[in-house]
Structure 1
Amino acid sequence: MTAVTDPLTLPCGVSVKNRLVKGAMSEALGTRDHAPRPELPALYARWAEGGTAVLLTGNVMVDARALGEPGNVVLEDERHLAEFHSWAVQGQRDGAQAWVQLNHPGKQAPRGLNAGGTVAPSALPFSGGMARAFETPRELTVTEIHELSARFARSARLAQQAGFSGVQLHAAHGYLMSQFLSPRHNVRTDEYGGSLDNRMRFLLETFSAVRAAVGPRFPVGVKLNSSDFMRGGFSEEDSLRVVQALGERGCDLIELSGGTYEKPMMMLGQGERGGFFADFSRRARAVAGVPVCVTGGFRDAATIRSAVANGTADLVGLGRPLVADPAFSRQVLSGKDASSDVHPLRTGIRPLDRSSYLEIAWYEDAMRRLARGESVKAGETPLLALARISAEMGLGAVLRRRRA
């Protein structure tokens, strides 16, 4: 029976020291020219010292012309390699690994954020209220698709050069790779649209380009939706086929999540216990042939240990619990009956409580506190966090923010 404390050797031959992963959370700690701010190395040092085996960064974008939200960090050339190197070094304290999550938002970028507009597999707008927040994208040409694969590969090579120990391609949560996979957002009639084989072509070609850029001994993972949870979207059956295809190509770690901005199931983990995508993870692990990580809804040590022991997943991803307590992993690993004090935030102001802004502000403010060496005050009113983040970034930037 596998224990959460057991090391795991990835297909590339690299070993991770235990079965716990810090899931990606968008930190909004990029400078005006998109370099990592000094808070990022300090923040990741705390998480590394907390015992977690693999630390996944928040979104690092592969193109400065295609930001997903204010405060994004971008890795597209060598200008900020010194800052990235500091981040990598601090994130690998105590034997932890630090992996860069590489991303492109496609059309899932707030209106007006990118001067040149947005791009996507097809020129389809979002529906309903989202159409007001996100503009109609321009359809990518085949040449541009090839160029984007090359961008991901270049960014991965730069991450390796900066000293990070792996990369993850973000193909979940409705961003560009996820848009290619979904028949709701991809209605192309060429080799990148139509059948699932065609819709997964961009992801698989990009994975191959990244692998060629970093070599066979450098970990390359993929974050994938179990489903979009939308009628006519990317289904669980689709996801299982993509999982199998990634496994056949030697993906080092497939992290499973679900949802998009339209249907933010990844946000529901805050109110669930036991792993929101755990049932699908068991099915995926049966066909993957490579390690599978499931993230979302894990809040107590017993459930985390059980997920690894009973074969739900090879690794368990933790997000909010590691913001509430960066040493939570160490408690789990030590055998303690630990439980994370993570709960939905409420102010009594109904429109605010039903929006995502409160959660966004609270966790971003909490990550800044951790970076300063402070502890997180779980009982503090979330309105104070919202006020502090709004004062730092501007209310407009906060309203454009999303987590995941």
Structure 2
Amino acid sequence: MLETQHAQARQFHADQASKDTANLADPLTLKSGTVLRNRICKASMNEALATPDGKVTDAHTSLYDVWADSGASLLITGNMMVDGKHMNEPLVVDALLDTNMDQLRKWAATGRRTNTHIWPQLNHPGKQSPKMVNDAPVAPSVVPIPNEMFAPPRELTDSEIEEIIDRFAEAAGRLQEAGFTGVQLHGAHGYLIGQFLSPHHNRREDKWGGSFDNRFRFVEEVYKRVRERTGEGFNVAIKINSSDFQKGGFTEADSIEVARRLDRLGIDLIEISGGSWENPVNRKGKQEVKKESTIKREAYFLEYAEKVKSQISTPLVVTGGFRSSAGMRQALASGAIDMAGVARPFAVDPKFGTHVLENPNHVSPVAPIKSGLKKIDAMAIMEISWYTLQIERISQGKKIQKKADGVWPALRVIYRFWKNGKAVKRVRA
């Protein structure tokens, strides 16, 4: 029965592909049967609005109540941790905290009045859990991150791996109970799912490492248990890197094979991104070499999307670089993607989706933010800090600032994270 449903879904998307290419305002039907009312997705950004112990706050509800009117049909939340002892940074939500259920229900309800889907992004950071919140990170193998922000990891045992997989499933089940219509598994940006997939980070010699089949096993089991817990009508998506841009690491060919296998398993939506703390995406750097024919495109990963799109039936989202209505429309018209993923423009313009739908010439004011200090700029601290503060202002009903005031946004957010990082350690001690 399930295989028949998947075959019908693949035929549906093949039929869609043979028709005229999609427009931003066109609905998108997923394998689950969910219909997204347009092709705009607000991609994940960390809200940094939780308490140090991972509690959801009223600020989350007020923020998503605003974004429910953004014009996007799908809102992916910031990271929610499947283990509160292992956070990717301070002030993120613990998805398995019992006291969060009432607030999660309020959060999930914000999208219903505008038929906007909200999917929490589920994550375990593995070794990419900084010292400010975690002195004892874990990973598939003992391969340290060459950055003083992170402590060397301990290798996970087989039973610990099984427990983490169960945590993903339990978190998805609770979020479904709270009223969310789907979840996104975070398999990109150097976090635990991506660590298992990478031969550089995963050097195990048991069933969880070595061959591609073994390295794929972790994400496969996470998907299967989440699906078993939530059922076929609940949306399960994933975010994966096009590659990790690391010698001996997760390659583009690996990424395409992951997409193909997850497609066969029945995943509902695949989002493509890239980069990690070790190798952040730099559009003008060496991580994506573009053909002359595509150099004017906005998004970072369209070359990859074109390669994978013909091999899967699962709808594809590309996130990274979209700033204008014209750029998003061009990407959809090319047939490389089914949906445009956009993040930072929504932090400075909460109605960005509406504006691009109504105005074919709309361009986001988002632009690179620099401090003038090479080390800070290389780590994108100014960028992250500036948008984090704007998200906070949206949640408080305040007017969004138009430009950064020197290095102060970075210093304010660094201090805030440092202070709350210490609080996280006290709570988890």
TM-score (norm 1): 0.93
Q: How far apart in 1 are the matches of 2:186 and 2:114?
A: 26
Contact 1:123 1:136 survives alignment (8 Å): yes
Q: What is residue 117 of structure 2 aligned with on the other side? A: 97
In structure 2, C-alpha distance between the alignment counterparts of 1:337 and 1:154, rounded to whole Å:
44
Q: Give the aligned residue type for 1:282.
A: E
SS at match of 2:41: strand
1:201 and 1:360 map into 2 onto residues whose CA distance is: 33
Given the alignment of the two structures, is residue 173 of structure 1 paired with residue 189 of structure 2, yes or no? yes
3-state secondary structure, aligned to 2:362 = coil
Which residue identity does 2:269 align to in structure 1?
Answer: L
Matched, 1:352 2:371: no
Unaligned runs of at least 5 residues, structure 2:
1-19, 286-295, 425-429
Cα distance change of structure 1 residues 168 and 396 upon mapping to structure 2, 3 Å threshold: closer
Q: Which residue of 1 aligns with 2:155?
A: 139
Q: How does 1:76-155 map to 2 (within 5 A)?
A: 76-114=96-134, 117-127=136-146, 130=147, 132-155=148-171
- Tell me by how many angstroms 1:5 deviates: 0.5
Q: Distance in 2 between matches of 1:162 and 1:9?
A: 23
The answer (yes or no) to whether the contact 1:77–1:158 under 8 Å persists in 2 is no
Gaps of 5+ in 1: none
Partner of 1:228: 244
Cα distance in 2 for partners of 1:240, 1:161 equals 33
Change (3 A) 1:206 1:268: farther
AA matched with 1:123: V
Q: Which moved more, 1:235-244 or 1:279-288?
A: 279-288
- Shift of residue 90, structure 1, vs aligned partner: 1.5
Q: Which residue of 2 aligns with 1:243?
A: 259
Q: CA deviation at 1:140?
A: 1.0
The alignment-based identity, stated in percent, is 41
Give the deviation of 1:211 after TM superposition.
0.3
1:322 corresponding residue in structure 2? 346
Q: 1:329 to 1:158 in 2, by over 3 A?
A: same
SS at match of 2:185: strand
Alignment of 1:28 with 2:48, yes or no, is: yes
SS at match of 1:221: strand
1:285 and 1:292 in contact (8 A); partners too:
yes
| 1:50 is aligned to 2:70 | yes
Query: 1:296–1:317: 8 Å Cα contact kept in structure 2?
Result: yes
Task: Give the conservation status (yes or no) of the 8 Å contact 1:365–1:388.
Answer: no
Partner of 1:33: helix, strand, or coil?
Answer: coil
More displaced 10-residue stretch of structure 1: 351-360 or 89-98: 351-360
Question: Which has the larger displacement, 348-357 or 71-80?
Answer: 348-357
CA distance in 1, matches of 2:352, 2:282: 21
In structure 2, distance between residues paired with 1:198 and 1:97 = 34
Distance 1:375 1:253, change over 3 A: same
For 1:210, the equivalent position in structure 2 comes to 226
| Residues in 2 aligned to 1:394 and 1:17: alpha-carbon distance in whole angstroms | 40
Aligned residue in 1 for 2:4: none
Q: 1:268 to 1:101 in 2, by over 3 A?
A: farther
Classify 1:137/1:363 alpha carbon distance in 2 versus 1 (closer, same or farther; 3 Å).
same
Counterpart for residue 261 of structure 1: 277
Moved more, 96-105 or 68-77: 68-77
**Equivalent AA in structure 2 for residue 87 of structure 1:** W
Q: Name whichever of 164-173 and 28-37 sits farther off.
A: 28-37
Q: Distance in 1 between matches of 2:283 and 2:63?
A: 22
The aligned residue for residue 67 of structure 1 is 87
1:257–1:266 Cα contact (<8 Å) kept: no
1:56: how far off?
0.3
Q: 1:252 aligns with which of 244, 260, 268?
A: 268
Tell me the distance in 1 between the aligned counterparts of 2:282 and 2:115.
29
Alignment correspondent of 2:29:
9
- Change in 2 beyond 3 A, CA 1:289/1:382: farther
Name the count of aligned residue pairs: 393
Does the CA contact (< 8 Å) of 2:241 and 2:275 recur in 1? Answer: yes
- What is the letter of the counterpart of residue 48 of structure 2? A
3-state SS, counterpart of residue 365 of structure 1:
helix
Residue matched to 2:204 = 188
Once the two structures are superposed, what CA deviation does each residue of 1:5-52 show, in whole Å capped at 9, x if it has no partner? 011110011111100001101111111321112111111111110110
Amino acid at match of 2:63: L
Structure 2 residue identity aligned to 1:260: S
Matching residue's letter, 1:72: V
Question: Which residue identity does 1:249 align to in structure 2?
Answer: L
Inter-CA distance 43–112: structure 2 relative to 1 (3 Å threshold)? closer
- Residues 350-387 of structure 1: CA deviation (Å, up to 9, x unaligned): 44333322112111100011112233222241534335
Cα offset, 1:391, TM superposition:
5.8
Asked whether the equivalents of residues 370 and 383 of structure 2 are also in contact (C-alpha less than 8 Å), the reply is no
Q: How far does residue 112 in structure 1 lie from its aligned partner after superposition?
A: 5.0
Deviation at 1:242, TM superposition (A): 0.4
Contact 2:41 2:74 in 1 (8 A): yes
Q: Is residue 132–residue 418 contact of structure 2 (8 Å, CA) maintained in 1?
A: no
Matched residue type, 2:306: R
Q: Which amino acid aligns with 1:84?
A: L
- Residue 340 of structure 1: how far off its partner (Å): 0.6
1:244-269 Cα distance to aligned partner (Å, 9 max, x none): 00000110000001121110117879
- Aligned residue for 1:49, secondary structure, equals coil
Amino acid at match of 2:36: V
**Structure 1 stretches (4+) deviating beyond 6 angstroms?**
266-269
